[in-house]
Amino acid sequence: MMRQFDKIALIGKYQSAEGAETVLELARFLRAREREVWIEQGTAGTIGKAEGFAVLTYEEIVGRADLAVVVGGDGTLLNAARRLGERAVPLVGVNLGRLGFLTDLPRAQACEKLGEILDGRYREESRFMLEAEVLRNGQRVFHTLALNDVVVNRGQLGRMIEFELLIDGEFVYTQRSDGMIVSTPTGSTAYALAANGPILHPEVGGIALVPLCPHSLTARPVTLPDRCVIEIGLLPPHDARIHFDGVTHFDVRAGDRLHLARSPLDVRLLHPAGYSYFAMLREKLHWSAAPRRN
């Protein structure tokens, strides 16, 4: 059965003139299609004049929107996904960035492709998130969600950190390194890929652990079932910083413990008709490209 998208929220890249122009273009297109159009509050502030379109906060969008169209790069979509994840508002991404693994509607064809989605010609998929909490002396001091990855690193320090890793309460190892990437399949083509981690197909129920410059040459990426609970304990005397989707961070102290598990909340992504995950990888990663000649 075709889903109805009557109430649509538009979210743009922060302080982007190009993004503001595209948001207004899409808003006019949707109004012509007799949809109720809302512009996210921060996006409206960048635009300046919202041309009579209603302006809503993220909190208001969560409870009311049938669809959210995100204009920007993958970082913009990641931020929106984390903030709208509570109600699993379907997301469509219009790419203004460089790679765009998640934002797959080309800007030049945004209205055309969005029209196809409104007409029911799209592919929907679900991406799981990680739920993260930091415990200090047994008490929660930080809690958030991540769609891409959670990265523990040395922060501003110039030396390696040391931590212990436990899976489902079982001790795995102590590691000295620059840190650790804990990645979902969605994030496996991001920082984890640059650190020689595996590419995980979105339908794989796995979580990748990718060490960052480990002191031991035998420390290798490991893929775990997504039912596992991951615990990273920072060992004295080191402090560190934890990044969540590259959007937010939290500074941890020696003795703090990071707990990670699959969140019960999923992100719903809508792709244009004919979308192919492998075609996207070929394009973004330049697979099959002819070698350059000198």
DSSP string, 40-83: EHHHHHHHS--TT-EEE-HHHHHHH-SEEEEEE-HHHHHHHHHH
Q: Cα(87)–Cα(49) distance, rounded to whole angstroms?
A: 29
The conformational region for residue 37 under phi > 0 = left, psi -120 to 50 = alpha, else beta, is beta
Candidate list 74, 149, 178, 256, residue with the active-site label: 74
Residue 74 bears catalytic tag: yes
Instruction: Enumerate residues 6+ apart whose C-beta is below 8 A from 226.
Output: 128, 205, 206, 207, 262
Residue type, 236: P
DSSP state of 188: G
Pairing of strands 240-244, 248-252: antiparallel
Q: Cα(176)–Cα(161) distance, rounded to whole angstroms?
A: 6
Could you give the residue numbers annotated as active site? 74
